[in-house]
Each structure stands twice: as C-alpha cells, then as structure tokens.
Amino acid sequence: MILMKRFEIVVGIEHLNQLIELLERSEVRGYTVIKKAGGLGSRGERNPDDLLVSDENAVIILACKEDQAQKMLNELRPAMEGLNGMCLISNCHAHVH
C-alpha cells in the first residue's frame, strides 16, 4: 500500500472543462468525473432532477502521491475562487498492482 492524497473537487458543470485543463497542466494521470451531482452549498441547492433549473455540479475524484499533490495544489489554489467550487483533500492508502 502507498500513502497518497485524495482530492474530491466539486465545481459547477460550467467550470468542468477548465478544471480538467488544470489537472492536465498538473500532469495528473487519472481521475473520475461524476456529473449531475446535487447538493446544498454556498450557491444554494442544486438538484439535478429539477427540470426547470439547469444548474448542476460535477465532482472529480483523484488520488496522487505527495509530490504530485503539491504540484496540483500550486495550480488549484489560485484557481478555486474562479471555479466557484470546493476541494477536500485527505490522506488515503492505495493498493497498487
């Protein structure tokens, strides 16, 4: 098992491509995107089942080694305000095959 950093990033769907570009600049090797995520945050409730409101969130989940995490944070930290999102970072253990 390898100790890694886990990122869970939530942004409005309108900022998803910008976030993916940031990840590519940071040379992230893999991530998972979950679209149509709902919830309650600073911009109010986002309900992907509401046909009248097109606002929806996207969640990106990834894990990387400490050095990669720092590189990504250097890109992500100044961009988060413009992305109008939230980022959770925690330690995790990964099983590598």
Q: Across the chain, where does the E strand assignment appear? A: 2-12, 32-37, 39-41, 44-46, 57-64, 86-94
Please report, for the domain that includes residue 26, its CATH number.
Answer: 3.30.70.120
Instruction: Give the span between the Cα atoms of 81 and 48, in whole angstroms.
Output: 23
Confidence band, pLDDT 50/70/90 cuts, at residue 63: very high
Q: Give the structural domain span for 76.
A: 2-94
Q: How many domains does the chain have?
A: 1
Q: How much is the pTM?
A: 0.82
Weakest-pLDDT range from 35-44, 45-54, 68-77? 45-54
| pLDDT above 60 for 52 | no
